[in-house]
Amino acid sequence: MATLKVLNYGDPVLRKDAEKVLKVSAKIQKLVSDMFDTMYAYNGVGLAAPQVGELKRIFVLDCSTDEEPMPRMVFINPVIIKKESAIISREGCLSFPGVYTDVKRYESVTVRYMDLKGKTQTMTAIGGTLLCRAIQHELDHLNGVLFVDHVIDRFSADQLLAEHHLPPIDPDKILVEPELDEALSGVAL
């Protein structure tokens, strides 16, 4: 068990695509265990392997609350196979200490992934829950995408980033998301 170093925004590793995990080996199991230790040490609800410098398609989540206890979860080689509707979500990230901003997310997603035993699983998260948003957020990390790429107000986000001594948003990385924009067209921003 170990607490790993979380990479901060600006580190080029965070913009790289992670590699598919071919086998759930002892090394992968140790990485997952260390990722949970790290996530808890930083008071996070999710952590993706690239955030600790490991370009593997793995993320861990613990979305439990006092009102809604949930098991902690491991997602290996996850793929979103269905997405519906849209919400505006206030998000932060362990790689962006102290920064929270509004982003666009799908309200419901179905994800297929492999668990720590190597078995294929499918899960649907609905209603814009923390679980639903965290799945999207952490899966983005595996593709070199960061939550600020979904930003609603780039200029306010840039101000927050500057206050926390982090680089500004790269305007070329902001995602064009017509499906989300259309779904949000009736929502006040």
- What residue type is assigned to position 16 of the chain? K
Q: In the sheet where 58-61 sits, what is the strand order? A: 46-48, 58-61, 73-84, 108-114, 120-125
Q: What is the 3-state secondary structure (H, E, C) of 64-127?
A: CCCCCCCCCEEEEEEEEEEEECCEEEEEEECCEEEEEEEEEECCEEEEEEECCCCCEEEEEECC
CA–CA dist 116, 74 (Å, integer): 6
Report, as residue numbers or ranges, the catalytic residues.
138
